[in-house]
Structure 1
Amino acid sequence: MPVSQSSLRGVVIAFIAYAVFAFSDASVKLIDGAIPAYQVAFAGAVFGLVILPLIKAREDSWLDIVRTSNRTLWLLRFACGAIGSIASIITFTKLPMAEAFCLLFLLPSFVTILSVIFLKEDVRWQRWTAVIVGFIGVLIVLRPGFRELSVGHLAGAIGGLSAAIAIVILRGMGPTEKRMSLYGAGLLGVLVVSGLLMLSNIAIPTPMQWVFIASYGILGSAGNALLMTAARMAPANLVAPPQYSQMIWAILFGYFIFDDTIDLPMAGGIALIVFSGLLTLMRERKRGTPLPSAVVSPDAQASLATAEPEPDTRG
């Protein structure tokens, strides 16, 4: 198959994958906080186990899920998986979908900042400009001092930061770390932490809530599978940008299902945030570094679908 045709199919599949993620996020919002976030996260992680056979290479062992060359970073990714998953669920529960994505789309900016601090990456003025534009966009959307901020806004920032830390860990652990280990760290983090939290309080879902929980988990796993398929057909720099199509779904869901409204300042802020993210991805492409992919997914592992650990390329 010609490369161009394969890449086009990969991009189309990526758009479908991000649409599936958006439907999964809408399922969380439809639960409307009636079920604790950690219980929903646990269900999503259980469905995430379905993806393991797709990640496992022939030479891999199932024990590679817990094996690692750097236990400290593995445990940090373990913690980020749990925190990011629970925080993102709280974000979509408490905030309008478009506003939730605005905060979670700060992921590329967080990655840039953390890469400078911990990986000592050489970041030029173009990437710093993208970071500043992104934060200006968030300030326009949130308008602190003019609007009351909630726990949902805090959770959104924590979710984006946790995902960014996971991406930086992915880069820092290098090309020798197996995908089974990287995926297993985040997935086990959600299962263990959410499972422990569930011991103190387990809510019994209604039949309709079971449908939404199942939709969240099944669609999230399907989105990850589609994203990995897209990554095998097209390079990461083509698969990553379609993530911003999630904002279109968020606006549509918000308008037709959740009665959300978007005023002119918020629309402008959204545009700046999307521009910031795309500018960052363009700079990452030129530098040849692994790209962050899906901003949010039930198991917080979609970044593994399009970002293989690679040696850092400075410049």
Structure 2
Amino acid sequence: MFITLKNSVPMSVWFMLLSALGFSLMAACVKEVSTLGIPVFEIVAARAAVSAVISYVDVKRKNIPLWGNNKPLLIARGTVGTFALMFVYYAVTTLPLAEATLLQYLHPVFTAILALWFLKETIQRSTVACILISLLGLLIIIYPNLAQESLVQESLAQPNLLLNPRIQYSWLSISAGVLGAFGSAVAYILVKKLTVTEDSSVIIFYFPLVAFPVSMLMLGSDFVIPSLTATILLILVGIFTQVGQVGLTKALHCADANKATAYSYVQVLFSVFIGWAYFSEIPMTTTIVGGGLIMVGALINVLWKR
């Protein structure tokens, strides 16, 4: 039965599922290590250090040139990915895991639009439906913020009106999540272009090559000496990231950018479960409804072939 299932499901799907699992575990480790006082820039630097070692060993194992062919585009991919990662990590450390992941996984919407312009991929009606439904889902997720701001305005006229701060998220955190999704989409488009001339291991290597010095520069004097527990978590961040990156890069080898990234929505399910089981986070109704719409949009993009 497993062999039949394996043969009937495209390899791009298996690789993207592996990527989603790796990234969901990575996000959980990021959230946990941030509670131990480790700054976001330091987490990015630690992830880059671990990924650099693993990527370097992998490139040498394949006995291929380390620096690749299209160096400007490789550096651009590393730079865009670095800043996208910083936005994503800020959202993960300041929002519930489910909400942060849902915002991050708006990237197929941006990827589809960018793929139309830069990769000349055909945008299908299913992709248009995915974009519209996903944006509606995003509006529902951020609705508590909009409603709370309306109550704030009313409270100016009614001083006795009580507000519930628990139903509002930071706009800075929400913006970081959306910017992280957009940056991820740009990085995926660059990866798709690079797969024509570059080995996947070289593409992956350039990310930590850029991320480490940039994050250390931005960290400055805020470096915190990690405890043993924090050190283990930081190493796991790098390892799970590598799993996610390898799965993603190989998936983009096998399918169009806008289709391949749609399968990664399963990370939302992983994150909701981890947030509930480990961090005791119960998603709000608006998160469930909005997230459900985003996932429906992804399924339409995958299953509707026109």
Tell me the TM-score normalised to structure 2 length: 0.77
- Across the aligned residues of Structure 1 and Structure 2, the Cα RMSD in angstroms comes to 3.3
Select the structure with the greater relative contact order (CA < 8 A; seq sep ≥ 6): 2
Q: By how many angstroms is 1:272 displaced? A: 1.0
> Could you tell me whether the CA contact under 8 Å between 2:48 and 2:211 is conserved in 1?
yes
Q: Distance in 2 between matches of 1:57 and 1:243?
A: 28
Q: 1:3 to 1:169 in 2, by over 3 A?
A: farther
Match of 2:284 in 1: 263
Q: By how many angstroms is 1:261 displaced? A: 1.8
Q: By how many angstroms is 1:268 displaced? A: 1.4
Q: Say if 2:27 is the partner of 1:25.
A: yes
State the identity %: 23
272, 278, 294: which one aligns with 1:273: 294
- Unpaired runs of at least 5, structure 1: 288-315
> Could you tell me whether the CA contact under 8 Å between 1:80 and 1:189 is conserved in 2?
no
Match of 1:305 in 2: none
Q: Say if 2:220 is the partner of 1:220.
A: no
Match of 1:303 in 2: none
Q: By how many angstroms is 1:27 displaced? A: 0.9
Match of 2:65 in 1: 61
Q: Say if 2:166 is the partner of 1:145.
A: no
Aligned 1:156-195 pairs, distance under 5 A: 156-173=177-194, 175-195=196-216
Match of 1:306 in 2: none
SS of 1:255's equivalent? Answer: helix
Q: By how many angstroms is 1:150 displaced? A: 3.0
Aligned residues: 278
Cα offsets for 1:96-129 (capped at 9, x unmatched): 1110111111111001222334445443433222
Match of 1:45 in 2: 48
Q: By how many angstroms is 1:212 displaced? A: 1.9
Q: By how many angstroms is 1:207 displaced? A: 2.5
Match of 1:35 in 2: 38
> Could you tell me whether the CA contact under 8 Å between 1:142 and 1:149 is conserved in 2?
no
Match of 1:154 in 2: 175
Larger gyration radius, structure 1 or structure 2? 2
Cα offsets for 1:222-253 (capped at 9, x unmatched): 4445x379859x95589755532222221222
Cα offsets for 1:108-167 (capped at 9, x unmatched): 100122233444544343322211111110111111412443322111111111110012
Q: 1:239 to 1:280 in 2, by over 3 A?
A: closer
Tell me the TM-score normalised to structure 1 length: 0.75
Match of 1:198 in 2: 219
Match of 1:111 in 2: 111
Q: Say if 2:72 is the partner of 1:79.
A: no
